[in-house]
Amino acid sequence: EVHGGVHFHQGVPEPPVPRQLPAAPAHFTGRAEELDELDGMRAEDGRVLAVLCGPGGVGKTALALHWAYRH
């Protein structure tokens, strides 16, 4: 015996995860050697874990973003 009512509610879908990367650099030249090195670090599943080190303003973020958007 059921008193009251039975209610079924569909779960709330998870919102899509937005791209977490900043915009790609508008102009990027050079760094072919570094890009090739990052390409060589790719695991079979496509993942790369790398640390880019250097003084501020040398283009670490631009290099990482350029490489990420290529892949």
The answer on pLDDT for 18 being more than 80 is no
41-52 mean pLDDT:
84
In the prediction, which pLDDT does 35 show? 93
Q: Hey, what's the torsion of the CAs at 42, 21, 50, 33, to 10 degrees?
A: 70
The answer on pLDDT for 65 being more than 80 is yes
15-35 mean pLDDT:
85
SS3 34: helix
| pLDDT tens track for 26-43 | 899 999 999 999 998 887
In the prediction, which pLDDT does 2 show? 63
In the prediction, which pLDDT does 31 show? 92
Helix (H) or strand (E) holding 38: helix 32-40
